[in-house]
Amino acid sequence: MPSSVSFSLADLCSAWAHGWTITRETSSPEPLLLAGAHALEVPTPIEDRRIVLPEPTIAAVRAGLAELSSSPDACLRFPGDDDDWRPLLGAGWSLFEPGWFMHRPVMRRTIGEDAEGYEVVVKRSEDHAAVEIWAAAGGGGREIVSHGLIGAARGSAASPAELAGWGTVDQIWTLPEHRQRGLGRRVMLELENAAHGMGLTDLVLTSTPMGLMLYDSCGWSEISRCVWAVTSP
Ligand SMILES: CC(C)(COP(=O)(O)OP(=O)(O)OC[C@H]1O[C@@H](n2cnc3c(N)ncnc32)[C@H](O)[C@@H]1OP(=O)(O)O)[C@@H](O)C(=O)NCCC(=O)NCCS
């Protein structure tokens, strides 16, 4: 099945939220309306509450900020530019890190000779894939030194049928002492091949500033900036 020829930013954002709950092994997002705009209450193991707004309007962002402002560790995420939305944030809110929504059409990738001396492990189920790169650690043990996950949006009960081909890439990291050796790139290519095997057509992720170079070098495209507003007690 080919990649979605065209998709809306709202679909991309919604797919990201649904797939994210699969990588994080939480229950499905709950659809809700904020000031008439569609929103997703996304269960999260890392914050008190997280709301994602696929189609942010000023009224919906205001309503989201009001809804979450009493939670000490809440997050409101939506496509948009930090500079445009910063003036709307009131006391108790701050912008966490600059973010970008990125997209990659799934293709079968050729894996090169990188990661020599490392063990690459790919685990795949119907809606979830993990890539782990292992190396020897101090004390004679072994440890994961580079890592990535995919969650298929279709694994989320509330995900609309039109997002069935989408997967979210999440938790991409390489331990500092193993960086700039091609391991992150190997993880991304293995994940894309896993996505191909899972029948996915489109991948989405939100990038931090540090991830941009890696994703760019793996053929991902920036679709939009991503606002990441957090409550700060
Ligand atoms: C981002 C991260 C995963 C990159 O991992 P890595 O194993 O060092 O990546 P690679 O060695 O495979 O690099 C892949 C490409 O990205 C580029 N790149 C990676 N980190 C870079 C950096 N700090 N500065 C410049 N380029 C960088 C490499 O030059 C390489 O490009 P090339 O293939 O054209 O040569 C790693 O820096 C990290 O774990 N950062 C902290 C966690 C994080 O921010 N993750 C992203 C979350 S969205």
Same domain, 110 and 50: no
184 lines ligand 1 (CB under 6 A): yes
Distances (CA, A) of 192 to 103, 140, 184, 207: 12, 32, 12, 16
The dihedral through the CA atoms of 220, 221, 223, 227 has a sign that is positive
Q: Whose CA is nearest to atom 44 of ligand 1?
A: 210
The fraction of the chain above a pLDDT of 70, given in percent, is 97
* Cβ contact 168:151 at 8 Å: yes
**Does residue 1 register a pLDDT over 60?**
no
Q: Is residue 2 part of a domain?
A: no
Q: Whose CA is nearest to atom 40 of ligand 1?
A: 173
At residue 43, φ and ψ (nearest 5 deg) are -65, 140
Q: Is residue 22 part of a domain?
A: yes
> How large is the average pLDDT for residues 55-71?
96
Q: Is residue 35 part of a domain?
A: yes
* Cβ contact 116:166 at 8 Å: no
Name the residue with tokens 């994961």.
144
Same domain, 137 and 201: yes
Pull the structure tokens for residue 54. 């696929």
Q: Is residue 4 part of a domain?
A: no
d(CA 205, CA 201): 14
Q: Is residue 16 part of a domain?
A: yes
Question: What's the CATH number where 186 sits?
Answer: 3.40.630.30
**Nearest atom within ligand 1 for CA of residue 178:** 7
**pTM for this entry:** 0.95
Same domain, 110 and 218: yes
Half-sphere exposure for 227 (CA within 13 Å, toward CB): 26
Give the mutation target among 213, 218, 220, 222 for probing the ligand 1 site: most ligand atoms within 8 A of CB: 213
Total number of domains in the chain: 2
Distances (CA, A) of 93 to 74, 88, 128, 226: 9, 10, 33, 16
pLDDT in tens, 97-146: 999 999 999 999 999 877 888 999 999 999 999 999 999 998 889 999 99
Same domain, 90 and 193: no
pLDDT in tens, 187-196: 999 999 999 9
| Structural domain range at position 24 | 9-100+226-231
Distances (CA, A) of 91 to 70, 117, 191: 12, 51, 40
Same domain, 165 and 82: no
When pLDDT is cut at 50, 70 and 90, the band that residue 22 belongs to is very high
Which residue type does 190 have?
A: E
Helices (H) and strands (E) in the chain, counts: 5, 12
Distances (CA, A) of 188 to 13, 44, 107, 204, 205: 20, 24, 12, 12, 11
Q: Which residues contact 8 (CB under 8 A, 6 or more apart)?
A: none
Pull the structure tokens for residue 144. 């994961």
210 lines ligand 1 (CB under 6 A): yes
Q: Is residue 3 part of a domain?
A: no
> How large is the average pLDDT for residues 32-48?
96
181 lines ligand 1 (CB under 6 A): yes
> For position 233, what pLDDT does the model report?
67
Same domain, 152 and 75: no
Q: Is residue 90 part of a domain?
A: yes
Q: Is residue 1 part of a domain?
A: no
Same domain, 141 and 210: yes
What does DSSP say about strands 202-207 and 166-174: parallel, antiparallel, or unpaired?
A: parallel
